[in-house]
Amino acid sequence: MANTSEFGESSSPSFQNYVSAASAVKLASLGLIMGISLLGNASLSLLLLKDSSLHKAPYFFLLDLCLADVVRSAVCFPFVMASIGGGSVWPYSALSCKLVAFMSVLFCFHVAFLLFCVSVTRYMAIAHHRFYYKRMNLCTCVAVIFMVWTLSVAMAFPPVFDVGTYKFIREEEQCIFEHRYVKANDTLGFMLMLAVIVGTTHVVYIKMLCFVYDHRKMKPAQLVPAISQNWTFHGPGATGQAAANWIAGFGRGPTPPTLVGIRQASHLGNRRLLVLDEFKMEKRIGKMYYIITLTFLIMWAPYISACYLRICVRGAPVPQLYLSAAVWMSFAQAGANPIISFLFNKELRVRLRACFPFCLGTQTPMEPYCVI
């Protein structure tokens, strides 16, 4: 013990320098994450609220994700920065620690539950598009979001009443679950639930991918098209379907002579078929959400793995460097969604240029006779 103390005293200045440098790096990185998260999520939320063409079911869910990340960054991250600045010590009351831990766990489960619900709606949009376009309106989206928040509160609230469950973890420099051995703590159930939700979400996306792949092999039932002179069809396939398509709003060009006086439908919401453009749009949105889900898994996997190790193996040593990197990766997930959304969704980029042209340089005028 004497040798250990002497070594500690001789290395004390260098150790203090290391601690100060590590704290500075943590504060700078967390400040950068917080700034990117607040700026990106707030900008995307404003775009989704401002542009009426984005008032659709998938973007309502994306808006909820962005607003939750804004609240998480604005409420939880400053407390982590305060604990780092105070020397890895919680400077506030035990009740405030429980509240911050409750919000951290709440937002984690909220993202997991919401991404699962989004994966189900993405599968419905591709495989059961008629039912999807008929049922997925604003009220349905609000009901789904309310259900997600209710389940998240149900998962995050019980540990508030358990003494010692929510604590300040010095190694993680945050208030969170105290992950002890499974026989001494009950957090295993919460971690298993989180793993099941994320795993089930990926299963739904795999099923959607298999559906798209199988239907790529489909061939038209009628191989010989009908022949037309001035919209008078004859020959194989002359069943009047072309005229019906024109009336339903799928036709282009002048009015057929046989349909003069009949109004062509112009409302996209009344369509009962998933045309090619809509199918491509649904695939893009599905791809964007899957990348968001995959990013969530990648960002949280190191921290969840460390939690499982501490729960399942008594006294398991977790390297401090690994644990710090894992915690900061979970923080970085709050700022990833806007970046992914703009990178993998062309519609959002186009609407961003239209709504905020001053942020993206000189753009082509929207009106052909716009005077600059």
pLDDT of residue 292: 94
What CA dihedral angle connects 147, 150, 156 and 159, to 10 degrees? -140
> pLDDT band at 8, cuts 50/70/90?
very low
**Which residue ranges make up each domain of the chain?**
20-219+277-355
pLDDT in tens, 71-81: 999 999 999 99
Residue 56: CB atoms within 10 A of its CB come to: 17
* Contact residues for 18 (Cβ-Cβ < 8 A; gap 6+): none
Q: Is 33 helix (H, G, I), strand (E, B) or coil?
A: helix
Distance CA 182, CA 179 (A): 8
Structure tokens at 194: 């989180």
Distance of CA 64 to the CA centre of its chain: 9
Which has the closest alpha carbon to 188: 44, 319, 310?
310
Is residue 163 predicted with pLDDT exceeding 60?
no
Mean pLDDT for the stretch of residues 351-371: 57
Q: Going by CATH, does the domain composed of 20-219+277-355 fall within 1.20.1070.10?
A: yes
Element (H, E) at 154: helix 138-156
> pLDDT band at 369, cuts 50/70/90?
very low
Is residue 209 predicted with pLDDT exceeding 50?
yes
Highest mean pLDDT among 310-324, 326-340, 347-361: 326-340
Q: Which residue has the tokens 């700026």?
A: 39
Is residue 316 predicted with pLDDT exceeding 90?
no
Distance CA 148, CA 346 (A): 28
Is residue 269 predicted with pLDDT exceeding 90?
no
What distances in angstroms separate CA 189 from CA 32, 50, 113, 156, 202, one per listed residue? 33, 41, 16, 12, 20
What distances in angstroms separate CA 224 from CA 68, 231, 235, 250, 252, one per listed residue? 54, 17, 9, 21, 22
Distance CA 273, CA 275 (A): 6
Element (H, E) at 229: strand 227-229
Decide: residue 239, CB within 10 A, 0-12 exposed, 13-18 middle, 19+ buried: exposed
Residue 303: CB atoms within 10 A of its CB come to: 23
pLDDT in tens, 99-157: 998 999 899 999 999 999 999 999 988 888 778 888 888 999 999 999 999 999 988 88
* Contact residues for 227 (Cβ-Cβ < 8 A; gap 6+): 233, 234, 235, 238
